[in-house]
Amino acid sequence: MDSMCRFGKYRVEREVLDEQRLEEITKRKPCSDAQPSLTEWLKDSLRCTVPKLKRSVVSSLPVLTWLPKYSVWEYGMPDLIAGISVGILHLPQSMAYALLASLPPVFGLYTSFYPVLIYFFFGTSRHISIGTFTVLSIMMGSVTERLAPDMDFLKMNGTNVTAEVNTAARDSYRVQVAAATTVLGGLIQVVLGLVKFGFVGTYLSEPLVRAYTTAAAVHAVVAQLKNIFGISPRRFSGPLSLLYTLKDVCSLLHHTHLSTLVVSAVSMVFLIMGKEFNSFLSPKLPIPIPVDLITIVTATLISKYAQLNNNYTVSVVGEIPSGLRSPSVPDVSLFGEVIGDAFAMAIVGYAICISLGKTFALKHGYKVDSNQELVALGLSNTVGGFFQCFSVCSSMSRSLVHETTGGKTQVAAVVSSLIVLVAILKLGPLFQELPKAVLGAIVFVNLKGMFKQYYDIVTLWRSSKIDLVLWLVTWVSTLLLNLDLGLAASVTFALVTVIFRTQMPTYSVLGNVPGTELYVDIEKHREVREIPGITIFRSSATLYFANAELYLEALKEKVCSIEDTLSHDLERVSLGSLGKWTWDIHSIILDLSTANFIDIVGLKTMKNVSTKATVVEQLELGGFFSQTITKRHLFASVHDAVLYCLDHRGATLTPRYEPSLVCMMFK
């Protein structure tokens, strides 16, 4: 074979290669030789046990790969600044999102402490901030309020039931429900990670995740209306619960507590102005102004000295115990009631973590292990559940603060957890007079980023109608069916769209680009020409049972000039039945370079078309070859098939090419 390179061009001269000749040249191994024997496998396993064990330990504890090489001089100060910034953000968010989970605020502080430390040892992302997150908090709130509704904890006055709720007993049981759900969800994540099921996150496409979180933001807003208006609507669960809750809220608006509404409005205005000021000065500020923390500190001081709770009956956070709680085993009897919710939270939490982690990894040039991330998140939830934490994942706002303030590693996360620890041990009682309306306002304002995702509708309308439909279906189903059933319906619909796309592929007839061995769609390119007597047919999707009949119909449409000559009986399909007499079209080449698998129906379809096809190894395993169709009819490229067909028919119209431009493409 003679080849030369000059001025970016090359020349290749070789024989026309069919599959049989290609196997002779390359000495292809039989399938049985490709797999080692049991004895060889055991020997290799024993010989590699120690190195594999070392790699396994390191991969299971990613902190061992970077902490010994950690440079205090290079990374210490950036991580310290980032950790302080993230820790300050943890304090208001953790208490606010605890209310979303229908739990006392102190459990939000616990959730921002224990899981962060676990992720430090097992996580592979350097920039994401683990802790409370809006979507998981509202999902947890739907579980806790479903299994521990206020109606089950009404106080007794002798033999009579009063309208007063025993909040201590209710909150205690809700904490048990949250802990059990968190531990079970964490165990699910660990198991999925150990069996290398990290790819499960790929089934949650970006449009689906963004639509889901946008709908979850609506749930979060509705859940906080009671704190904003100072009313007590009933809590509903199941499908259409959002609509029922909104209806109940509207019916109670005339009972709005004006003092609470004023506190909410003032807090929102202050937060919005502060965050806009932050954004305006962000290029000039080394670290962002902690607007949320300033808000809760100011509101607490005003509430304490103005005695808002005593004088104006503004609801406040109440007692926040100082100190850490001892670990306890969750109530396993609850597992059966929360397994569906735990699985949904496990998948959603992982999808958010891995998408955010990969975004930062791509930007900063390192790799995130999807399976290890699943294990790390699972262990964070499992261990956290024993300390009465609720489900965690990464937070976009805190992760961005981590990155923009210069954070380099998860050492910053340890610094942030120490700040939370100080708040748990010493500062908790100081926030007892904090109005709940302020925490509700923080939730409202922090949802601004999620509501911006409605712009996706415009973007998807221009780029992909199918993704737009997926976005809308996910959003509507999540709003109407609630977060758990909405997720299941969304994933199901996403899989249906995949099937739909394989059944509606692009079919094309290929023509030759003059002077080359390249073949492109003749309908989309002007300077291409068909090869006389040969039709080259390509589908953009793989050939299998769901689209085999559509494949034949498209072949008829592209090739035929006589109507109704294609038999729908696969046993009777031939060149003649395709509507072209054999002296007009003597060869049909099926380009299967886009196929990643072919099932038995696809093989049967190809057999009965009597094809000259390109390389697909699965044909051999499917029993495609016979005395009629041999490996002599399977080629290394479309061009090989064309040359074979022309030579086989004794054609004198063999395409001419400029030798310096010829290039053989193997598919």
Please report the sign of the dihedral spanned by the C-alpha atoms of residue 21, residue 26, residue 32, residue 34.
Answer: negative
For the ranges 363-377, 428-442, 594-608, which has the lowest average pLDDT? Answer: 594-608
- Taking phi over 0 as left and psi of -120 to 50 as alpha, with beta for the rest, 497 belongs to alpha
Is 50 exceeded by the pLDDT of residue 265?
yes
Asked if residue 416 is part of any domain, the answer here is yes
Give me the pLDDT at residue 571, please: 38
Give me the pLDDT at residue 307, please: 92
Please report the sign of the dihedral spanned by the C-alpha atoms of residue 480, residue 486, residue 489, residue 492.
Answer: positive
For the ranges 114-128, 353-367, 381-395, which has the lowest average pLDDT? Answer: 353-367
Asked if residue 521 is part of any domain, the answer here is yes
C-alpha span between 23 and 29 (Å, rounded): 9
Which tokens sit at 318? 């109440």
Give me the pLDDT at residue 650, please: 57
Place of tokens 């224990």: 114
* Residues 383, 110 contacting (CB under 8 angstroms): no
* Residues 376, 119 contacting (CB under 8 angstroms): yes
**Domain termination residue (choose one: 450, 476, 501):** 501
Asked if residue 304 is part of any domain, the answer here is yes
In terms of pLDDT, which residue wins out, 294 or 50?
Answer: 294
Is 70 exceeded by the pLDDT of residue 29?
no
**Same domain, yes or no: 552 and 497:** no
Mean pLDDT, rounded, for 403-414: 91
**Same domain, yes or no: 110 and 253:** yes
C-alpha span between 505 and 521 (Å, rounded): 14
Which tokens sit at 472? 């809308």
Q: What is the pLDDT of residues 223-260, one digit of tens each?
A: 889 999 999 888 787 889 899 999 999 999 999 999 99
Asked if residue 5 is part of any domain, the answer here is no
Asked if residue 24 is part of any domain, the answer here is no
Q: How confident is the model at residue 59 (pLDDT cuts 50, 70, 90)?
A: low
Give me the pLDDT at residue 179, please: 97
Which tokens sit at 312? 């104006």
C-alpha separations of 237 from 100, 143, 223, 249, 642 in Å: 15, 9, 12, 15, 64
Which tokens sit at 587? 């060869």
Per DSSP, helices labelled H in 330-410 are: 335-364, 370-386, 396-404
Q: What angle do CA 148, 151, 156 make, to 5 degrees?
A: 115
**Same domain, yes or no: 496 and 520:** no
Burial of 123 (0-12, 13-18, 19+ CB in 10 A): buried
Place of tokens 């094309």: 508
Asked if residue 512 is part of any domain, the answer here is yes
C-alpha span between 79 and 85 (Å, rounded): 10
Mean pLDDT (the chain, rounded): 82
Give residue 590's domain range.
506-569+582-665
**Same domain, yes or no: 421 and 541:** no
SS3 375: helix
Phi (first) and psi of residue 18, to 5 degrees: -95, 175
* Residues 296, 279 contacting (CB under 8 angstroms): no
Mean pLDDT, rounded, for 552-569: 58
C-alpha span between 373 and 122 (Å, rounded): 8
Asked if residue 657 is part of any domain, the answer here is yes
Phi (first) and psi of residue 634, to 5 degrees: -120, 130
Asked if residue 22 is part of any domain, the answer here is no
Q: Which of 303, 308, 221, 299 lies closest to 257, judged by CA?
A: 308
Mean pLDDT, rounded, for 549-573: 58
DSSP per-residue letters across 626-667: -SSS-GGGEESSHHHHHHHHHHHTT-S-PPP--GGG------
Phi (first) and psi of residue 303, to 5 degrees: -65, -40
DSSP per-residue letters across 449-471: HHHGGGGHHHHHHHH-HHHHHHH
Which tokens sit at 526? 């002007």
**Same domain, yes or no: 535 and 483:** no
Is 80 exceeded by the pLDDT of residue 400?
yes
Give me the pLDDT at residue 152, please: 84
C-alpha span between 614 and 633 (Å, rounded): 8
Which tokens sit at 170? 């209710």
Instruction: Tell me the percentage of the chain whose pLDDT exceeds 70.
Output: 81
The secondary structure of residue 507, as a DSSP letter, is E
Which tokens sit at 220? 């979060």
Indicate the number of domains in the chain: 2
Is 90 exceeded by the pLDDT of residue 174?
yes
Measured between alpha carbons, how far apart are the two ends of the chain, in Å? 20
Q: How confident is the model at residue 570 (pLDDT cuts 50, 70, 90)?
A: very low
**Same domain, yes or no: 280 and 345:** yes
* Residues 20, 640 contacting (CB under 8 angstroms): no
Contacts 24+ apart (CB under 8 A), 365-372: 366/126, 367/124, 368/124, 368/125, 369/59, 369/62, 369/124, 369/198, 370/198, 370/199, 370/201, 371/193, 371/194, 371/196, 371/197, 371/198, 372/59, 372/60, 372/62, 372/122, 372/123, 372/124, 372/193, 372/198
C-alpha span between 327 and 197 (Å, rounded): 30
C-alpha span between 177 and 390 (Å, rounded): 9
Is 90 exceeded by the pLDDT of residue 591?
no
Q: How confident is the model at residue 305 (pLDDT cuts 50, 70, 90)?
A: very high
Give me the pLDDT at residue 342, please: 95
**Domain termination residue (choose one: 445, 472, 501):** 501
**Same domain, yes or no: 530 and 612:** yes
Is 60 exceeded by the pLDDT of residue 666?
no
Give me the pLDDT at residue 605, please: 74
Mean pLDDT, rounded, for 533-545: 82
* Residues 376, 410 contacting (CB under 8 angstroms): no
**Same domain, yes or no: 481 and 602:** no
SS3 103: coil
Give me the pLDDT at residue 391, please: 96
**Same domain, yes or no: 430 and 358:** yes
Q: How confident is the model at residue 122 (pLDDT cuts 50, 70, 90)?
A: very high
**Same domain, yes or no: 482 and 540:** no
Give me the pLDDT at residue 482, please: 86
For the ranges 55-59, 616-620, 655-659, which has the lowest average pLDDT? Answer: 655-659
**Same domain, yes or no: 122 and 246:** yes
Please report the sign of the dihedral spanned by the C-alpha atoms of residue 505, residue 506, residue 510, residue 516.
Answer: negative
**Domain termination residue (choose one: 501, 525, 547):** 501
**Same domain, yes or no: 418 and 442:** yes
Mean pLDDT, rounded, for 395-420: 91
Q: What angle do CA 299, 107, 235 make, to 5 degrees?
A: 85
Q: Which of 304, 578, 283, 554 lies closest to 431, judged by CA?
A: 304
SS3 132: coil
